[in-house]
Amino acid sequence: FGDWDVPKSITRSKTRLPRQSGLVDVPGVVEMLPGYDKPGLFDGLEAFSHIWLSFVFHQSVEQGWRERVRPPRLGGNRRKGVFATRSPFRPNHLGLSVVRLEQIQVEEGRVRLHVRGADLLDGTPVVDIKPYLPYVDAIPDATGGFAPHAPATSLQAVFSDRARGQLRVLPGGDELQMLIEQLVTLDPRPAYRKEGDEKRVYGMRLAGYNVRWQVSDKRATVLSIETNDPSWP
């Protein structure tokens, strides 16, 4: 992918990502590659609270694009034209997200942007960065078509005794628990699997851990937070 910039997000599974930026307080780091890591390129950006990230849906490139897609907000069973959706299966494979800028870190000649509210996978190529301008980028009377409001939480998150014990010994366990809760209460399961799958165990890679959960009666029970370390409880 040449000179694309690569952010490091804590999320690795695209089916478990927040479907829009800002829905979950996911932290991320945009690492600038040589040629674009000069501090002067970011002079003045620290005054902006939010930034736009233009990126590539790199995990969808090989699958091509689709003229009509099934948006999750419509239950995954109604088709709309691709240009009426934010589907990753686009002709140009480009995405656009607004995130909160928390810090511009300059260290050993490298520049990293620390952000919050990310909806990008670990390794997503970022192709451009622009400041968010509230006076033109926020339109109070805009309409949202078939997605007029943010999705409501549809599940209650509960943690098994094992998962709670694992969180207690983790550095930053409280923040990780909050992040898991925010993700699973939005029910990130594929729409076509939301009925009759009480026995199915779902998983995602999050902050280097394998998080496993199960859904039954509107409750998402987090079963475990595991690593590949054989000594892990």
What kind of architecture, by CATH, is found in domain 156-226? 2-Layer Sandwich (3.30)
Most confident of 2-11, 60-69, 128-137, 174-183: 128-137
Q: What's the pLDDT at 9? A: 42
Indicate the pTM of the whole model: 0.66
Q: Nearest CA to 124 among 99, 151, 91? A: 99
C-alpha 79, offset from chain centre = 23
Equal fold, 6-137 vs 156-226? no
Give 58-115 pLDDT, tens digit per residue.
877 888 888 888 776 676 678 888 888 878 888 888 888 889 999 999 988 789 999 9
Q: Give the CATH fold of the 6-137 domain.
A: Elongation Factor Tu (Ef-tu); domain 3 (2.40.30)
Question: What is the enclosing helix (H) or strand (E) of 179?
Answer: helix 173-185
Sorted by where each begins, the domain ranges of the chain are 6-137, 156-226
Q: What is the pLDDT of residue 1?
A: 25
The closest of 136, 131, 73 to 99, measured between CA atoms, is 131
Q: What is the pLDDT of residues 180-218, one digit of tens each?
A: 888 888 787 766 555 656 778 888 877 778 888 888 888
In this structure, are residues 101 and 115 in contact, taking their beta carbons and an 8 Å threshold? yes
DSSP letters of 18-73? -SSTTSS--EEEEEPPTTS--GGGGTTGGG-SEEEEEEE-TTTGGG---SEE--GG
